[in-house]
Amino acid sequence: MTEQKMQTVYARTLQLDDGLIAPYGGKLVQAFVPVHEKHEMLQRIEHMQRVEISAGELVELKMIACGAYSPLTGFMDQHTYKSVLDATKLTDGMSWGLPVTLGVTAEVAKSVNEGLEIALFRNDEAVGVMQVTDIFAWDAAREASVFGEGVKYKYPQITERKQRKVEYLLGGPVSMLTSRTDEVQRIKNIWPHDLRNLIIEKGWHNLAAIHLRNPWQRTDEYMLKSALEGSDAILLHMCNEVTPEKGGLLPSVLSGARRLLLENYFPNDRVLENPMPDGLFGSSPRAALQHAILSQNYGCASIYFPLSNEVDVTVHDFWEVFADTAKSGLRIRRVVMDIPFHCTLCGGIATVKSCPHEAEHHVIYSEADIVGRLLLGENLPPTVARPDIARAVARGMADKAVRGDAQGTHLYPHVSEISREVLESMAGHKAGVLWMTGLSGSGKSTIAHRIERELVLSGHRVYVLDGDTLRTGLNRDLAFGDEARRENLRRAAEVVKVLIDAGLIVIASFISPFTAEREMVREIVGANFFEVYVEANIETCEERDPKGLYKRARAGVIPKFTGISSPYEAPEHPDLRLNTSIQTLEECVKQFSDFIAQAGLMRASKHVRISDGLAGKNIA
């Protein structure tokens, strides 16, 4: 091929004057075989050495050809490859994060010589040509030491190349056999030049990218919407992964979950999707640098980097890799986002910047947690993903779930479209449980029903759940042995949880004598659990004995009666303590009512004291 012919076939550059942020290096590379040269090139390819490339390398070929990897004009030679690995820079000193290389087996490497023009094929289809300028050994160990093969810094190309028995890399300029006007490729990819024209057409001033691998969880949605609120639109570079990570979610499942999230919960004209190479979504600062470079070439004015609980990468790590990038022409604005979590007290997704509560109230699900649940056939909680998305993910992973007849698995409760937050908003108050514990005869039920009356008459949605009520209905099959009593409280806690989800304030009255059982209840119920200890000495309770239970217990008719023949473990640090041995009913109700207001469960405008007319009344 003549020098003139090479200049028309291989990479050229565009000097843009679109008023947007300049491409990295100042010019946008274009490396497509011109339309008028395509027929002749296809004829020449029939006589060229064929080299099959992987799916990931095909995507990288596209990125070079369309200018997303500007200023690169081809796959890296050995000098550039080593410079990127050792110094995070190209040979001219420009910052660069990841190697862009073409891997081949030893057999293929022996059949290729420097200076040879080769044809690049994917699935027996010619996709491009390459002028080989360098053939050198692939330094897999060095790449693994820089990027890592484990969870910390995911770089799937290393594993994939080992499976293909890659030993050598080819370097040299490329030209792709697909023009930007090809309709099929236009559907699959957005080219930088086209997107820049769209930005101008839409009148956008701040298109933003976000460094997310496959968004589908509630925390992903939070970060995407936070970024969108500060931008005109989001360019979402999608993971092109085709093989599942060991022990991870299937790529097809993640792709489907992402589609559900974007189609149902985002404006379709404000989120633009674009397939990208796998390595771009690694958690390392190098991958973040590469993503920033690519996004600037697309015309993005800013890029968001959410931190992750999965890897030990700090804000300092990000800023360090970007230290010298301004000298290279990297102008894109970088925004680091704190790790998001579900706060049980806030009742939603937040970060440490917006949540005032302690870490013990922050719920973060790792990928291992999620996969573990799914493999056991358990449903994902609504704090992980929206119900429709969670069901789709569970269905997609069903074939990988543990086989067997494990009780309670493979159940996926349908979650209401009306959230608890909406119900609370309509009621005008938060939902929660006031778990009253104390000896029989201490006054739990009496106080509970007086508080119920006060709250209902002041416009609250309240329900009193009493131990005897459950014992005569739902729990009538249970005896009074240790295991049966524990199961009685477990069922009660599940009922309370359902009532709270319905937006109610639940006043639960149960002796619940043991600390471990009360902690079990607290764990089941979750947020807005308040332990109320109704204290009374045994003498006072026996003197009251409204049901005659103590008398029968002393006579041996009732075995293992709490306070007589079975111990009661008093709460050491209850949220509220009411001592009915020394306080009147009115004093207890007033103290209880004040506590409910302080706990944030009471409607501020409806804090009416109905109990003012109860002075002097007895508790039991």
- Establish whether the linkage from the previous residue to 71 is cis, with ω within 30° of 0: yes
Cα atoms found within 13 Å of the Cα of residue 503, Cβ hemisphere only: 15
Distances (CA, A) of 321 to 291, 295, 316, 392: 12, 16, 9, 38
Q: In terms of Cα–Cα distance, which of 304, 303, 307 is closest to 339?
A: 307
Please list, in sequence order, all residues whose beta carbon lies within 8 angstroms of the beta carbon of residue 418, skipping any fewer than 6 positions away: none
Q: Which residues of 44-80 are buried (b: 16+ CB within 10 A; e: fewer)?
A: ebeebeebebbebbbbbbbbbbbbbbbbbbbbbbbeb
Q: In terms of Cα–Cα distance, which of 530, 534, 523 is closest to 493?
A: 523
What distance in Å separates the CA atoms of residue 230 and residue 200, rounded to the nearest whole number? 18
What distance in Å separates the CA atoms of residue 393 and residue 568, rounded to the nearest whole number? 45
Annotated catalytic residues are 512
List the end-to-end C-alpha distance of the chain, in Å, as a whole number.
Answer: 103
Structure token pair of residue 474: 């739902």
Distances (CA, A) of 566 to 24, 82, 248, 310: 76, 74, 49, 47
DSSP H or E run through 248: none
Q: Hey, how many other C-beta atoms are within 10 angstroms of the C-beta on 141?
A: 9
Distances (CA, A) of 432 to 217, 500, 508: 26, 6, 10
What distance in Å separates the CA atoms of residue 197 and residue 206, rounded to the nearest whole number? 14
Whether the CB-CB separation of 351 and 340 falls below 8 Å is answered with yes
Q: In terms of Cα–Cα distance, which of 597, 561, 555 is closest to 429?
A: 597
Distances (CA, A) of 91 to 35, 290, 513: 32, 16, 73
Helix (H, G, I), strand (E, B) or coil at 180: coil
Whether the CB-CB separation of 543 and 497 falls below 8 Å is answered with no
Q: What angle do CA 145, 149, 153 make, to 5 degrees?
A: 85
Tell me how far the alpha carbon of residue 575 is from its chain's centroid: 33
Tell me how far the alpha carbon of residue 114 is from its chain's centroid: 47
Cα atoms found within 13 Å of the Cα of residue 240, Cβ hemisphere only: 20
Structure token pair of residue 37: 């040269």
Q: Which residues of 474-496 are buried (b: 16+ CB within 10 A; e: fewer)?
A: ebeebeeeeeebbebbeebbebb
Query: Helices (H), strands (E): how many in the chain?
Result: 24, 22
Residue 537 dihedral angles phi and psi, to the nearest 5°: -70, 160
